A and B are shown apart, each in its own frame.
Chain A
Amino acid sequence: MRAFLILVFLSLAAGCTPQPQAYHEQLVGFGTLIDVKIWGVDEQTGRNAVRAIEDDFKYMHFAWHAWEPGPLSRINELLPTGERFSAPPSIIPLINKAKDFAHKSQGKFNPAIGHLIKLWGFASDDPPLGPPPSPEQINALLEQKPSMDDVVIDGIEMYGTNPAARLDFGGFAKGYGVDVVIEHLREMGINNAVVNAGGDLRAIGRHGKRPWRIGIRNPRGPGILASVDVQEDECVFTSGDYERFFEYQGIRYYHILDPRTGYPARGATSVTVFHNNAAEADAAATAIFVAGPEEWYEVAKSMGVKSVMLVDSRGTVYMTPNLKERIYFDVKPLPKIVYSEPL
């Protein structure tokens, strides 16, 4: 009885103990809101860490922006000339990774289609109003077959071999940036954090005694589609057709373009990739979205990712079986779920 009374007292006392809070800040960068949570640090340390990665994001935004003046826009001015020029060191690793991802994606991920993105009006801070470009304009660009092979890096110099190639790293720059800032946080001694750049999320460590809890937005309705507890170092990247789009004469045209057709990729409404590297997860999410429900499995395999969830335009969920025990759906009725073979 005495032990029982002590237990009751301790239960009540535990309820009165203030719970430690995660340090939380939001930033604006890469054209989106960046949500940062850090566990296990005092407020001053948290604030200093966020200021440091805010500077990282500002620099990367400047260096990698496709249409604002900066190193990448300078590259895009010089590539069509075919002349050799000095390659900005901040961009070389990005180009090398982009080449690798483009090859692995079997043509579904192509950062050299900057002219096509511009033609559709998505190379702008404001969403385009339409109308969509004409088939003739789109075909004229596709016939020139811009690809990452048209961008050659030779030591500290680079040059273009196809005037139609224009770089736009919108498909994976945020992911690469998230990797950079997570590494910076670790160098500052921070081992428990979540950085979420507009749906491009990487979590390290834990939220105290429990894992970080992540909600995945419902692509075709209000609220949350599913929730997941992330593992100790894991990226959760979602590409969706609701992020940037315009509607013209009742048809929605969104920003994820299929490099093969020149039109917005059809079939998927959102793709979520779970992986241990943010740049790879970002590129894979884009490529798998382009692949759609028919080809997603092959592209995921060639991109080297193991955990994927794709929601198609009818709401059917296609998922790798390793997510079965990890993802909890928050919608009712539950969606139809089709499990693939393991990747």
Chain B
Amino acid sequence: MKHELPKLPYAMNAVSQAISERTIEFHYGKHHQAYVNNLNSLIPGTPFENATLEQIILEAEGPIFNNGAQVWNHTFYFETFSPLPKQQPEGEFMWLLVETFGSFDEFKSKFSTAAATLFGSGWAWLVVDTNGKLAITQESNAGNPLRKGQKPLLTCDVWEHAYYLDYQNRRPEYIQAFWSIIDWSIIEKRFLAAK
């Protein structure tokens, strides 16, 4: 099965209040594309030749896992941005966020800390954990919560390539700007599907 780079649901310059067009060009056009290409060149003749990305995330190791998980992670990350985002969640999901973390701002602050303190390359996640509770987690490199039986709802890429052209060493500024382009209607849909 040949994996494809999914289309971005907005223009390259659409979220430039937080992430520049140049960063999106490299991040989506070069990094995300390279993970797709690498995966397609790695899987022929292996048990993962016809596997879905989810199967690869659950079962593969080494370069096939790394590239397959990075394809999935980047798609999941880019899908959540919008130039005109729904700025906060509502309904049952909002209620659960408040119940779990104290308030929406408290949630954002805890997630931001997880993203800021991950050492090296990786991802911060909001997941539904194996007990059905909302939880904030960190994964190094290509790590993905599906591997632990968790259901991911939101992620922030803190590989330096996600922010270095715009923010250099100032990762916390990138994380703060990240919130301004998250479309909560997408996270709500994921939550409903995960229930």
Do A and B actually bind?
no
Seen from chain A, the residues whose Cβ lies within 8 Å of a Cβ on chain B are: none
